[in-house]
Amino acid sequence: MTFSQSFRMAIKSILSSKARSLLTMLGIIIGVAAVMVIVGLGNGMETYMVDTFESMGTNLIYAEVFGRGGGNRTVSVDDMFQLVEDNPDTLAMVSPSVSVQGGAKVGNENLSSTSITGVSEDYDKINHSEVAQGRFLQYVDVLRRKNVCVIGSYLNDTYFQGQGVGQTVKIMGMPFTVVGTLEQSADGSEYGSDNTIYIPYTIAGQISMQGNFTSFSFSATSEDTVLAGQAVIEEELSEIFGSDDAYYVYSMTEMLDQMDSMLNIMISILTGIAAISLVVGGIGIMNIMLVSVTERTREIGIRKALGAKRRHIMRQFIIEAGTTSAIGGLLGIAAGYGLSAVATQLITIGLGENMSVVPTMNSILVAFGISAGIGVLFGYLPARKRARLNPFDALRHDCSRGRREEENR
């Protein structure tokens, strides 16, 4: 019997019991679809993270001073500005960052969820923020400690109907004039990065009573000089503090790599869980094949009596098992694409994020290959068992079963 004949018989056998065949394929379908959706979701999240970090700037370097270790316990803003001037090949700009822990108000409305940060005039360029109206902070604002501020798009749209320039915001009871508004950078929600106020770091340090600044944002001259710039900053802080436990320097690239690594671990675990469905589907195929070969014992006996060899019998049932799992894999691929499209819509509508769940060709090929391989593997054992039957024993087994059925009637 040729391969094409065996394949046609396999299709005929599958179609003869559609419900049983579909239930047999169900585990394979669920497994393949789950693997596709999970891998697609992981790729979508990775792409979204990369785009988000790139929009913030992959050349960003942050330095946090804890005030521990030996030697001098403070670092001045002038030291950091001088560090940038002394290293023009690696560092482009720096800005202190002072978080103001106090309430802001617009009229009688408390802005309890609004972040208030003191920064320098270069912070918009360091952080890649775009001014929508008015201007950003200027050097004269910082030098003279002016009560001016720049607000995010959420505050501008929610409290000033998009006309915030010239309006007044109270911070710690002090009136600040809005000199600029920023373009929307995130989802524009109350709890996102668009709900923010920037004021000169000099006035921020004064009203928050912080004599020393502990947070600094640097921008490297390019993405290629981030590591060199990070090394320069660490060397300078090490000389100032005499210990490397008094500060922590990290880059946006490092953060992206760490998050990417964590995401890959999570996706691998979820993919492994989804792959269990493929194994369950393989067990289902083995069970059905055991039933199928038992029901067709008479057919096996007749074929062997007519000269069919053991390998022909084995090939027939292995092809049936492989065909069943392959069809299940194809249906799983179709289901995976459909579920991925639904997931993309749910994320867009529910979370308001533009993130696509797109399965990769590698995940599709691997899932389909594993499903087909599992079918062949789990179909081999029942096929091998029945292919070794003696023709006489096979026919006698069928006759004995027929007599038992007659007696039961």
* pLDDT tens figures, 6-47: 667 767 777 777 777 787 788 788 888 888 888 888 888 877
Instruction: Determine the pLDDT at residue 70.
Output: 45
Which one has a higher pLDDT value, 119 or 187?
119
Query: Is 106 within a domain?
Result: yes
Amino acid (one-letter) located at 246? A
Instruction: Determine the pLDDT at residue 357.
Output: 82
Cβ atoms of 95 and 122 within 8 Å: the answer is yes
Residues 266, 246, single domain; the answer is: no
Cβ atoms of 325 and 376 within 8 Å: the answer is yes
Place of tokens 């007519």: 306
- DSSP classification of residue 184: P
Residue 408 pLDDT level (bands cut at 50, 70, 90): low
User: At which of 251, 284, 317 does a domain end?
Assistant: 251
Residues 46, 70, single domain; the answer is: no
Query: Is 151 within a domain?
Result: yes
Kindly tell me if the per-residue pLDDT of 402 is higher than 60.
no
Least confident residue range of 20-24, 95-99, 113-117, 203-207? 20-24
Query: Is 288 within a domain?
Result: yes
Rounded to an integer, what distance in angstroms lies between the CA atom of residue 359 and that of residue 365?
11
Would residue 35 be called left, alpha or beta, if left means φ above 0 and alpha means ψ between -120 and 50 degrees? alpha
Query: Is 409 within a domain?
Result: no
Instruction: Determine the pLDDT at residue 409.
Output: 52
Rounded to an integer, what distance in angstroms lies between the CA atom of residue 316 and that of residue 55?
58
Instruction: Determine the pLDDT at residue 20.
Output: 73
Cα separation values, 95 from 17, 78, 84, 139, 185, Å: 72, 11, 10, 12, 20
177 strand-pairing partners: 148, 168
Interacting residues of 46 by C-beta distance below 8 A, sequence separation 6+: 260, 263
Instruction: Determine the pLDDT at residue 53.
Output: 66
H helix runs in 128-177, sequence order: 139-143, 153-160
Residue 397 pLDDT level (bands cut at 50, 70, 90): low
Kindly tell me if the per-residue pLDDT of 58 is higher than 70.
yes
User: At which of 251, 270, 292 does a domain end?
Assistant: 251
Kindly tell me if the per-residue pLDDT of 380 is higher than 80.
no
Place of tokens 């995130």: 186
Residues 221, 170, single domain; the answer is: yes
Q: Rounded to the nearest 10 degrees, how much is the dihedral formed by the CA atoms of 234, 238, 244, 246?
A: -100
Average pLDDT on 345-372 reads 78
CA angle 364/370/374 to nearest 5° reads 150
Interacting residues of 235 by C-beta distance below 8 A, sequence separation 6+: none
Instruction: Determine the pLDDT at residue 390.
Output: 62
% of the chain exceeding 70 in pLDDT: 81
Average pLDDT on 136-145 reads 94
The pairing of beta strand 168-171 with beta strand 104-106? antiparallel
Query: Is 139 within a domain?
Result: yes
Interacting residues of 120 by C-beta distance below 8 A, sequence separation 6+: 94, 95, 96, 137, 142, 200, 201
Helices 361-387, 297-305: crossing angle, 10 deg rounding: 70
* pTM of the entire predicted model: 0.62
Residues 120, 235, single domain; the answer is: yes
Instruction: Determine the pLDDT at residue 55.
Output: 62
User: At which of 228, 251, 274 does a domain end?
Assistant: 251
**Element (DSSP H or E) covering residue 106:** strand 104-106
Query: Is 25 within a domain?
Result: yes
The listed range with the strongest mean pLDDT (129-138, 208-217, 337-346) is: 129-138
Cβ atoms of 241 and 69 within 8 Å: the answer is yes
Residues 245, 185, single domain; the answer is: yes
Residues 389, 323, single domain; the answer is: yes
Average pLDDT on 109-135 reads 90
The listed range with the strongest mean pLDDT (67-71, 223-227, 275-279, 321-325) is: 223-227
Residues 11, 112, single domain; the answer is: no
CA 281 to chain centroid = 27
Residues 75, 222, single domain; the answer is: yes
The listed range with the strongest mean pLDDT (77-81, 175-179, 387-391, 405-409) is: 175-179
Residues 13, 126, single domain; the answer is: no
Average pLDDT on 140-156 reads 93
Kindly tell me if the per-residue pLDDT of 242 is higher than 70.
yes
Residues 37, 86, single domain; the answer is: no
Residues 122, 202, single domain; the answer is: yes
Domain count, the chain: 2
Residues 75, 143, single domain; the answer is: yes
Q: Which domain holds residue 241?
A: 59-251
Query: Is 267 within a domain?
Result: yes
Amino acid (one-letter) located at 142? V
Instruction: Determine the pLDDT at residue 1.
Output: 55
